Amino acid sequence: MSVAPADVAKIASLARIKVTQAEIEAMVPELNGILAWVDQLGEVDVAGVEPMTAVIPNQLRLRADVVGADPLTGGNVRDAVLANAPAAEHGFFGVPKVIE
Amino acid sequence: MSSYRIQGATGEWEVVIGLEVHAQISTQAKLFSGAATAFGAEPNTQVSLVDAAMPGMLPVPNAECIRQAVRTGIAIGAVINPWSRFDRKNYFYADLPQGYQISQLYHPLVGEGAVTITPDDKKPDETKVIGVERIHVEQDAGKLMHDQHPTMSYVDLNRSGVALMEIVSKPDMRSPAEAGAYLAKLRTILRYVGSCDGNMDQGSMRADVNVSVRRPGEPFGTRTETKNVNSVRFVMATVEYEASRQVDVLEAGGKIVQETRLFDPDTGTTRSMRSKEDAHDYRYFPDPDLLPLVLQPAFIEECRASLPELPDAKRARYETALGLSAYNAGVLTAEAETARWFERLIAESARRQGKTEAEVARAASNWLTSELFGALNKLGRTLSDSPVSPEAGAELLALVGDGTISGSIAKQVLEKMLESGDAPGVIVEREGLKQTSDTGAIEAAVDAVLAANADKVEQYRAGKEALFGFFVGQTMKAMQGKGNPQLVNQVIKARLG
Amino acid sequence: MSELTDLGIAAIRDGVAKGDFTATEVAQAFNAAVAEANPALNAFIVTTPDHALAAAQRVDAARAAGQPLGKLAGVPIGMKDLFATKGVQTTAASHFLEGFVPPYESTVSQRLWDAGAGMLGKLNLDQFAMGSSNETSAFGNVISPWRAAGDNAGRAPGGSSGGSSAAVAARIAAAATGTDTGGSIRQPAAFTGISGIKPTYGRCSRWGIVAFASSLDQAGPMARDVTDCAIMLEAMAGFDAKDSTSLDLPVPAWSAQLSDDLKGLKVGIPREYRIDGLNADVAKSWDDGIAWLKDAGAQVVDISLPHTRYALPTYYIIAPAEASSNLARYDGVRYGLRDLPEGAGLQDMYAATRAAGFGSEVKRRIMIGTYVLSAGFYDAYYTQAQKVRTLIARDFEEAFRQVDVILTPTAPSAAFVLGQKSDDPLEMYLNDVFSVPASLAGLPAMSVPAGVDRQGLPLGLHLIGRPFDEQGVLNAGLAIERRAAFTARPEKWW
């Protein structure tokens, strides 16, 4: 499969990466080169093969329903949560106004 | 069952409704982090580094969320999938810190089930089965506030990562009443199970309402999805508004756009959501931070065994084993809280009166549904904050049962119980409300009434038998309601006979 | 005290314990070496001499008080800047995270500090660990301490753990952490003549490591020799309830059980790795490795891993797909860069921020990952790749019925000149051709120095083991190390 400039623009938009027309033009052959290369996977016979779900046999562990059992993954750390925010006001993160 | 039809200018239309109900799972901690889930906390205080999607943070699932979703699935007779897994739903929004929601698309925890509804309370025997497609477990998003700052929206992540069950119905509903009944019934079941508190005003439960219209018998039309509708009444209003809006569009030669809409409770209308207009491509794929979720048979069995008696079973038992009317059985099982109260009432009544529960249940159910509910209603209260306990209610019923007080005195006693919180026996004693069975006193009262109403006695004897009640009423009045009604009747009959 | 910087983990730990020198002296020596070398090598993004000193002083105090010392007591190490370090800037070598100071410590780094190690600084890497030459860093590329004979051109230290490999090879860190997604520990180790092991997927907690591709990422040690790798891995590994994919297994005493006696061991030589046009020096070092393992008592067996040729394309679907999602959190809302053009809305802010915060290789991989997951392509690319991945893992399972360890070259060439491959992404990707299959199967694998090529540049040999059998990999590595007698080291030019 291959991509055209319009496809690249659409992917960039889905990925929320602003691209100029010149960047799109440059990406088209690059991405097509990579896609043509990965397309060879299509030739592998995978009939009856399950997609890999766990690389090492291991089961999903569940944790007990306890608040703050490990302080590293518990709440009540607002200062830490907001410490690196580009815009934090009154205990909130600020973003450009959204119209819903 | 009568069909709900919209009469358009060009003929009849049928509405087709499916609901995606998001129910917050009742847990202490979030789905993938140890932050608390309590409602109403200060902004961003119930947020862990995991919920804020700090670099390198990882999800670890909360067992209770899985357990409650499985119990809910069993409660609606659904298939429990022993192998499920979490997927990522990728999109960008300020309330979604990871840039993806951890959900379950390809292999949900719970498969097909069903919910039986009674769309019309007044016709308790008319039921309909609404199919449930699936229940999956997923993260809730945070909350945006738009009115705090002129150019900014504020983000509060307290809800971010709270566990939700998404309960997806089949498009089996055909009227606003059915949609409302389905949501109400689902809430009842969740509360019985204890998997969700069902508090819709706090956002614990909300519905995405999918509505389309079609000519009866034709294939489904294009649907719209109205997001986050948070009451039974609003769901019904959404369906009503959307259906008639769509009929208007179609009859004017237009087409329905598949879109996301928002319900406005102030106007009862829906409008298109601008921010969600983007063509979506969620790029779902299995979350590589989480392994497949494998449930052992013993775990599923434990979930099954831990379920209480569910509303449909309870309602049937109330009708067959306790002999209640279909209406009363419906009212008493509609809320888990009500049924619990009623069951304590009849247990205590049976104990006090030395009877079986079946023997006391009818009178107890009538008293509860007509007397107590009515009285609480006047006070603006509900059973959960009733000043009268089931034990006090049983004592009152026992006083009526053994003839200590009459039914009409019981009404007075109840009012005093609600006012003072005192036990009925205390009130009866203090106010001297005991019924009298003293034949002499009754005969004296009857004789006085008959003597004072000689003309009416003549009329009665001439054949105007309806006057019998008048004599009873006058006698009871003279005795301040305390005469044993049976004895009063007997004496009057004897004197006039 | 410059000779102290010649010492590795075991020597420093033992010397401190015996009182031959103090941990503080060691830390000072390494801090000085870092200060001297870093302007030339650019191995560290930030240096943290105070952290190293404070840790050393704690060790000296503990020793003076007669308290037991940790496995890495007094050992100053470099920390790849992919590990979150509390109070110390953590960037993943990205402009996006420049200035980001985590309020938390990654599990692995915490375990290392608990074992008595100190931090010399945060090591440079390919941006978000995406690259094989360390040229994608937003903080400039690392220059390998190695130079080809008679050629002063700057060489790649490998990637993505290029700061780690350069620092250890240049003797400005006793050891360093690395992370490996498709070869990011092993290829840089091979390029710089050091040892590095990627353990079984799940041995080391991923909590607090900036994620690249979750199903592949594994942390591991990069050190002077096999013994040091074993000691350091013992400190790094272990169950962590905060990582759902963490293995709930005890950590074996790998270093105590090291042995180069391979009698009874079967070593597999996969024929598919003998690719067309294999570099003659690499082929020769592979043959040397076979001879050394035989000499150590192992039996060498030809094996087949038939789906090997599909490993790289499989990797370049799965890793970008996971990365495209893992990197969605870098949106300018909660931390890191925010680029808010005049009048921009939320979605415009995302696009501008991410365009400014990510380098071109990161963007390229996000674009590929977004594409292969998008509607209409998911099954053809992602699902197909996960099926082929199953086949690749099965190839290894089959092979491990016959053999105990697999020997291959680590990389198809020695270190190349910086800039030589940076214009052609596919050419760059081919660097990982030998390391990626073990990553896809989650297997333990390590690179050990095997000699130098005709230009005098190091070459590495690559050992792949069964799941959980780090010991087998380390023992075979030790056998090679002892026989290769690799003593070459970069001449100091900085």
Q: What is the C-alpha to C-alpha distance for residues C114 and C118, in angstroms, rounded to an integer?
A: 10
Contact status of A76 with chain C (Cβ, < 8 Å): no
The predicted pLDDT at position B277 comes to 45
Bridge partners of residue C76, in order along the sequence: C118
The predicted pLDDT at position B123 comes to 87
Q: What is the C-alpha to C-alpha distance for residues C36 and C31, in angstroms, rounded to an integer?
A: 9
The predicted pLDDT at position C288 comes to 98
Each residue of C49-91: pLDDT tens digit? 999 999 999 999 999 999 999 999 999 999 999 999 999 999 9
Q: What is the C-alpha to C-alpha distance for residues C489 and B333, in angstroms, rounded to an integer?
A: 82
Tell me the average pLDDT across C374-396.
97
Residues from chain C contacting residue B59 (CB–CB below 8 Å): 244
Contacts of residue B330, Cβ cutoff 8 Å, sequence gap at least 6 = B118, B121, B124, B315
**Architecture, CATH, for domain B439-496:** Orthogonal Bundle (1.10)
The backbone torsions φ and ψ at residue B390, rounded to the nearest 5 degrees and listed phi first, read -60, -35
The predicted pLDDT at position B278 comes to 55
Choice among B256-260, C60-64, C102-106, C352-356 with the minimum mean pLDDT: B256-260
Each residue of B127-179: pLDDT tens digit? 999 999 999 999 999 999 999 999 999 999 999 999 999 999 999 999 999 99
Q: What is the C-alpha to C-alpha distance for residues C135 and B105, in angstroms, rounded to an integer?
A: 39
The predicted pLDDT at position A78 comes to 97
Which residue segment(s) compose the domain that A17 sits in?
5-43
Contact B60 A61 (CB under 8 A): yes
Interface of B with A in 97-156 (CB under 8 A): 144-146, 148-156
Residues from chain A contacting residue C393 (CB–CB below 8 Å): 52, 55
Tell me the average pLDDT across B175-200.
96
Each residue of B48-71: pLDDT tens digit? 999 999 999 999 999 999 999 999
Is the model's pLDDT at C393 over the cut of 90? yes
Q: What is the C-alpha to C-alpha distance for residues B295 and C150, in angstroms, rounded to an integer?
A: 64
The predicted pLDDT at position B275 comes to 54
Contact B56 C209 (CB under 8 A): yes
Is the model's pLDDT at A99 over the cut of 80? no
Domains of chain B, by residue range, sit at 6-303, 309-431, 439-496
Is the model's pLDDT at C471 over the cut of 70? yes
Contact C432, C269 (CB under 8 A): no
> pTM here?
0.93
The predicted pLDDT at position B122 comes to 84
Contact B261, B36 (CB under 8 A): no
Contact A84 C374 (CB under 8 A): no
Is the model's pLDDT at B364 over the cut of 70? yes
- In angstroms, how far is CA C107 from the centroid of its own chain? 17
What are the respective helix, strand and coil percentages of chain B, to the nearest 5?
40, 20, 40
Each residue of A5-16: pLDDT tens digit? 999 999 999 999
The predicted pLDDT at position C422 comes to 82
Contact B35, B70 (CB under 8 A): no
Q: What is the C-alpha to C-alpha distance for residues C476 and C267, in angstroms, rounded to an integer?
A: 9
Count helices and strands in chain A by DSSP H and E runs = 3, 2
Q: What is the C-alpha to C-alpha distance for residues C40 and C64, in angstroms, rounded to an integer?
A: 38
Residue A37 lies in a domain: yes
Tell me the average pLDDT across C426-438.
93
Tell me the average pLDDT across C338-363.
96
Residues from chain B contacting residue A50 (CB–CB below 8 Å): none
Please report how many Cα atoms fall inside a 13 Å half-sphere around the Cα of residue C394, on the Cβ side.
13
* Residue B38: closest CA among A82, A92, A75: A75
Each residue of C210-235: pLDDT tens digit? 999 999 999 999 999 999 999 999 99
Contacts of residue B479, Cβ cutoff 8 Å, sequence gap at least 6 = B436, B441, B442, B445, B488
Task: Give me chain A's average pLDDT, please.
Answer: 95
Please report how many Cα atoms fall inside a 13 Å half-sphere around the Cα of residue C49, on the Cβ side.
13
Tokens of B411: 């009404």
Contact C325 B100 (CB under 8 A): yes
Tell me the average pLDDT across A32-53.
96
Contact status of C97 with chain B (Cβ, < 8 Å): yes
Contact B45 A78 (CB under 8 A): yes
The predicted pLDDT at position B2 comes to 63
Q: Which residue has the tokens 């860093």?
A: C137
Q: Where are the alpha helices (DSSP H) in B158-231?
A: 176-193
The backbone torsions φ and ψ at residue C320, rounded to the nearest 5 degrees and listed phi first, read -65, -35
DSSP character at residue B385? G
* Residue C476: closest CA among C284, C252, C244, C226: C226
Count structural domains, chain A: 1
Helix (H) or strand (E) holding C27: helix C23-41
Please state whether beta strands C175-180 and C76-80 pair in parallel, antiparallel, or not at all (unpaired).
Answer: parallel
The predicted pLDDT at position A31 comes to 95
- In angstroms, how far is CA B79 from the centroid of its own chain? 24
Rounded to a whole number of angstroms, the distance from the CA of C36 to the nearest CA of chain A is 32
Supply the CATH classification number for the domain C2-260: 3.90.1300.10
Q: What is the C-alpha to C-alpha distance for residues C206 and C213, in angstroms, rounded to an integer?
A: 11
Choice among B119-128, C150-159, C392-401 with the minimum mean pLDDT: B119-128
Percent of chain B with pLDDT over 90: 82
The predicted pLDDT at position B274 comes to 64
The predicted pLDDT at position B279 comes to 61
Q: What is the C-alpha to C-alpha distance for residues B214 and B217, in angstroms, rounded to an integer?
A: 8
Each residue of C104-148: pLDDT tens digit? 999 999 999 999 999 999 999 999 999 999 999 999 999 999 999
C184 is catalytic: yes
Residue A19 lies in a domain: yes
| Coil, helix or strand at residue B271 | strand
What's the full length of chain B, in residues?
497
The predicted pLDDT at position B438 comes to 84
**Comparing C94 with B481, which gets the higher pLDDT?**
C94
Each residue of B68-99: pLDDT tens digit? 999 999 999 999 999 999 999 999 999 999 99
Across the beta sheet with A92-96, the strand order is A88-89, A92-96, B152-156, B143-145
Tell me the average pLDDT across B302-325.
97
The Cα angle at residue C445 between residues C128 and C417, in degrees rounded to 5: 55
Scanning every residue of chain A, which has its alpha carbon at the shortest distance from the alpha carbon of C321? A15
Residue of C184, C246, C285, C413 with catalytic role: C184
C80 is catalytic: yes
Contact B119, B128 (CB under 8 A): yes
Contacts of residue C213, Cβ cutoff 8 Å, sequence gap at least 6 = B288, C181, C318, C319, C320, C322, C323, C326
Confidence band for C1, pLDDT divided at 50, 70 and 90: very low
Q: What is the C-alpha to C-alpha distance for residues A41 and A23, in angstroms, rounded to an integer?
A: 28
Query: Does ipTM come in above 0.85?
Result: yes
Q: Where are the alpha helices (DSSP H) in B164-296?
A: 176-193, 232-251
Domains of chain C, by residue range, sit at 2-260
Each residue of C161-189: pLDDT tens digit? 999 999 999 999 999 999 999 999 999 99
* Residue C165: closest CA among C148, C141, C182: C141
CA distances from C233 to C444, C474, C486 (A): 12, 11, 22
Contact partners for chain C, using 3 or more CB pairs closer than 8 A, are: A, B
Residue A84 lies in a domain: no
Task: Give me chain C's average pLDDT, please.
Answer: 97
Rounded to a whole number of angstroms, the distance from the CA of B34 to the nearest CA of chain C is 10
Confidence band for B437, pLDDT divided at 50, 70 and 90: confident
Q: What is the C-alpha to C-alpha distance for residues C226 and C463, in angstroms, rounded to an integer?
A: 12
Rounded to a whole number of angstroms, the distance from the CA of B50 to the nearest CA of chain C is 10
Residues from chain B contacting residue C324 (CB–CB below 8 Å): 90, 283
Helix (H) or strand (E) holding C452: strand C445-452
C266 is catalytic: no
Residue of C106, C144, C160, C285 with catalytic role: C160
- In angstroms, how far is CA C135 from the centroid of its own chain? 16
| Coil, helix or strand at residue B152 | strand
Q: What is the C-alpha to C-alpha distance for residues C350 and B36, in angstroms, rounded to an integer?
A: 29
Strand positions, DSSP E, C35-106: 44-47, 76-80
Contact A41 C370 (CB under 8 A): no
Helix (H) or strand (E) holding C70: none
Tell me the average pLDDT across B445-455.
92
Tell me which residue in B49, B61, B92 faces C328 most closely, judged by beta carbons. Answer: B92
Residue A90 lies in a domain: no
Is the model's pLDDT at B408 over the cut of 90? no
Contact status of A58 with chain B (Cβ, < 8 Å): yes
